[in-house]
Amino acid sequence: MPSIVLYQPDIPHNTGAILRFAACVGLPVEIVEPAGFDLSDRGLKRAGMDYLERATLTRHPSFAAFDAFRRERGGRLVLLTTKATRSYLDFGYAEGDFLMFGRESAGVPDAVHGVADERLLVPMRPGLRSINLAMAVAMVAGEVLRQVGPVGDAPMQDQGG
């Protein structure tokens, strides 16, 4: 199944919201450390609420450790970046993809760009800097799930009103 990868996240509220979202849709989350906050941070717990216990979270002490983990599993590194030209909507996702999102403050270093198998962006209006990380993760994950199908053996619940 695809994984959401957060490269050295800066903002605990975003990470908590992403963990909550990932728990609900059944996607694992990989965090490449160091994070810009203590992962036991109160803001992380508040944003993730009681969903943090249901999230599948793996922490990697460095990018090198994460990259070795990824390569061992044979998954593609799909980097979401404002420096890309190809839209995340124009890409065919696969079960083993690792969807990496960079730091809120700085993205990822050139060395990470260099090993990415694909670089994609979330298109937005010219002159604007970026979309909130948690929202970008949800947008991309929605497209990934549309293409590869829901994860797990139970059908998704309809949240309609």
What confidence tens digit (pLDDT) does each residue in 56-88 have?
889 999 999 999 999 999 999 999 999 999 999
Looking at residue 63, which CATH number applies to its domain?
3.40.1280.10
Within the chain, what is the greatest distance between any pair of CA atoms?
Answer: 46
The full length of the chain comes to 161
What confidence tens digit (pLDDT) does each residue in 8-58 have?
999 988 998 999 999 999 999 999 999 888 877 566 666 556 777 888 889
DSSP character string of 58-71: EEESSHHHHHHHHH
Q: What is the rounded CA–CA span in Å between residue 58 and residue 109?
A: 21
In a domain, 157, yes or no: no
Expressed as residue numbers, the domain containing 25 is: 3-148
